[in-house]
């Protein structure tokens, strides 16, 4: 794993939207998106109210928050995706570590009915998994990043394409209703970005072991993006005015494959918009494994969750995260995602060429 770098000391990089639409959505589509966003906000509030009645507590608790998020997912995911709570996920390889209890698990439609009521779920049956916090703090982010990396270590190696080696076959995210950074002098979004970035370095040894997303209702949704820059011949005119030392550094930079990642924030002013951003990202990621979701994922993406952004990036050592079979293969032969917007940021990575 590369040396630890503080968030403030990391270099910035622009992770743009390379999968956007050429035209704006129609008026009817915009109205539908606005209605969907408002309905998401109402559905979550009603789910939380129902959970409060079941627990007999008016103040927010972890149990209520989990129940509200689970109910929201049940209402907004296709009916074939069952949502279950408090399950242990059993991996494919033995690591010597006891499996964590996962707050929310979204099951693949193909997972056998007879296995769904068990206290444990095979990782091959997981479409998405979420750690849930009522009020998020730094330790909650660390715990979620640790759980995600631990679960990734239970997967059998997947090699042969950049997609297999840089992504995971299921989503792992962090959900919260609010956060602890409430003081007037606090910068909650900065704190969230910093904590995600540094927790990732503490636990993720490859982009595939990183959290995919984090949604905090009163802050926004953070999407993990991995960017791959292949070796590129550098035009002479770009370096002719540089000193010999800077010219050599520039040529080396362009001639070397670079892999970067970040947690890009999609901020929102309303709770419904935050939920819409989260759901857009979730649908886009699920569509990688279930092509039937692609059309709806594309429709939701018009809400603007594919906007990318500029943020601090983590630079990866290519030889530590990609096999020689991939890194030494002409990038034009790589396995791309081949959806309509193949490099859309919410798909988990994009390739800026």
Q: Tens digit of pLDDT for each residue in 129-148?
A: 999 998 999 999 999 999 99
Interval 63-99: pLDDT, tens: 888 988 999 899 889 999 999 999 999 999 998 898 8
Average pLDDT of the residues in 156-164: 84
Distance CA 205, CA 201 (A): 8
φ/ψ region of 182 (left if φ > 0, alpha if ψ in -120 to 50, else beta) reads: alpha
Distance CA 298, CA 193 (A): 26
Highest mean pLDDT among 55-59, 181-185, 268-272, 291-295 belongs to: 181-185
Average pLDDT of the residues in 29-40: 68
**What Cα–Cα distance (Å) separates residue 214 from each residue in 121, 132, 141, 228, 323?**
23, 10, 9, 22, 29
pLDDT for res 332? 64
Confidence category of residue 33, pLDDT binned at 50, 70, 90: low
Q: DSSP state, 341?
A: S
pLDDT for res 9? 75
- Reported residue count of the chain is 353
Average pLDDT of the residues in 195-220: 94
CB 173 within 8 A of CB 211: yes
Average pLDDT of the residues in 237-262: 79
- Residue 318, in any domain of the structure: yes
Buried b (16+ CB within 10 A) or exposed e, 6-41: ebeebeebebbbbbbeeeeeeeeeeeebeebbeebb
Interval 299-352: pLDDT, tens: 777 655 455 566 788 989 988 998 888 887 776 666 554 332 333 333 343 333
Average pLDDT of the residues in 174-186: 91
Number of domains comprising the chain = 1
CB 29 within 8 A of CB 299: yes
- Residue 149, in any domain of the structure: yes
Q: Is 102 exposed, middle or buried (0-12, 13-18, 19+ CB in 10 A)?
A: buried
pLDDT for res 251? 75
φ/ψ region of 122 (left if φ > 0, alpha if ψ in -120 to 50, else beta) reads: beta
> Minimum mean pLDDT among 20-34, 38-52, 183-197, 230-244: which range?
20-34
Distance of CA 115 to the CA centre of its chain: 27
Q: What domain range includes position 124?
A: 7-350
- DSSP H/E element including 85: strand 83-90
CB 172 within 8 A of CB 215: no
- Best CA proximity match to 304, nearest among 41, 55, 30, 6: 30
- Residue 173, in any domain of the structure: yes
Q: Is 205 exposed, middle or buried (0-12, 13-18, 19+ CB in 10 A)?
A: middle
Is it the case that residue 60 has pLDDT exceeding 60?
no
Confidence category of residue 239, pLDDT binned at 50, 70, 90: confident
**What Cα–Cα distance (Å) separates residue 152 from each residue in 3, 13, 213?**
21, 26, 15
Confidence category of residue 269, pLDDT binned at 50, 70, 90: low
Is it the case that residue 150 has pLDDT exceeding 90?
yes
Higher pLDDT, 109 or 272: 109
> Minimum mean pLDDT among 23-37, 64-78, 179-193: which range?
23-37
Higher pLDDT, 165 or 30: 165
- In sequence order, the 6+-apart residues with CB closer than 8 A to the CB of 251 are 234, 239
- Residue 2, in any domain of the structure: no
pLDDT for res 313? 87
Angle value at C-alpha 245, between 241 and 246, nearest 5 degrees: 50
Distance CA 274, CA 271 (A): 5
pLDDT for res 152? 96
Buried b (16+ CB within 10 A) or exposed e, 58-87: eebeebbbbbbbbbbbeebbeeebbbbbeb
- Residue 1, in any domain of the structure: no
Longest dimension (CA), the chain: 72
pLDDT, the chain, mean: 80
pLDDT for res 57? 56
**What Cα–Cα distance (Å) separates residue 171 from each residue in 152, 221, 224, 281, 336?**
11, 15, 11, 10, 19
Confidence category of residue 5, pLDDT binned at 50, 70, 90: confident
Number of H helices, E strands in the chain: 11, 12
Is it the case that residue 21 has pLDDT exceeding 80?
no
């Amino acid at each position: 794993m590369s040396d630890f770098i503080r968030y403030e000391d990391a270099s910035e990089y622009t992770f743009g939207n390379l999968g956007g639409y050429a035209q704006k959505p129609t008026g009817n589509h915009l109205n539908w998106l606005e209605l969907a966003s408002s309905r998401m906000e109402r559905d979550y509030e009603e789910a939380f109210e129902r959970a409060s009645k079941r627990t007999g507590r008016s103040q927010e608790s972890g149990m209520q928050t989990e129940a509200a998020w689970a109910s929201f997912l049940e209402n907004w995911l296709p009916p074939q995706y069952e949502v279950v709570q408090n399950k242990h996920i059993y991996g494919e390889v033995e690591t010597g570590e006891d499996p964590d209890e996962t707050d929310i698990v979204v099951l693949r439609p193909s997972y056998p009915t007879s296995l769904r009521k068990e206290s444990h779920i095979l990782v091959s049956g997981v479409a998405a998994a979420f750690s849930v916090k009522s009020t998020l703090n730094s330790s909650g982010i660390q715990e979620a990043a640790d759980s995600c990396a631990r679960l990734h270590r239970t997967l059998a190696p997947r090699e042969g394409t950049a997609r297999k080696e840089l992504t995971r076959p299921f989503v792992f995210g962090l959900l919260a209703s609010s956060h602890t950074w409430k003081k007037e002098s606090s910068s909650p979004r900065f704190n969230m970005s910093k904590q995600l970035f540094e927790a990732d370095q503490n636990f993720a040894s490859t982009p595939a072991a990183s959290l995919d997303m984090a949604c905090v209702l009163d802050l926004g949704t953070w999407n993990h993006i991995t960017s791959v820059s292949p070796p590129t011949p550098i035009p002479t005119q770009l370096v002719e005015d540089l000193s010999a030392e800077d010219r050599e550094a520039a040529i080396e930079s362009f001639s070397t494959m670079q892999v970067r990642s970040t947690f890009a924030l999609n901020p929102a002013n309303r709770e419904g918009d935050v939920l819409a951003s989260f759901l857009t990202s979730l649908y886009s990621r699920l569509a990688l494994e279930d092509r039937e979701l692609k059309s709806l994922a594309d429709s939701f993406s018009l809400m603007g969750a594919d906007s990318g952004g500029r943020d601090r990036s983590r630079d990866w050592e290519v030889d530590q995260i990609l096999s020689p079979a991939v890194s030494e293969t002409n990038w034009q032969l790589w396995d791309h995602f081949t959806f309509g917007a193949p490099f859309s940021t919410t798909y988990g990575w994009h390739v800026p060429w």
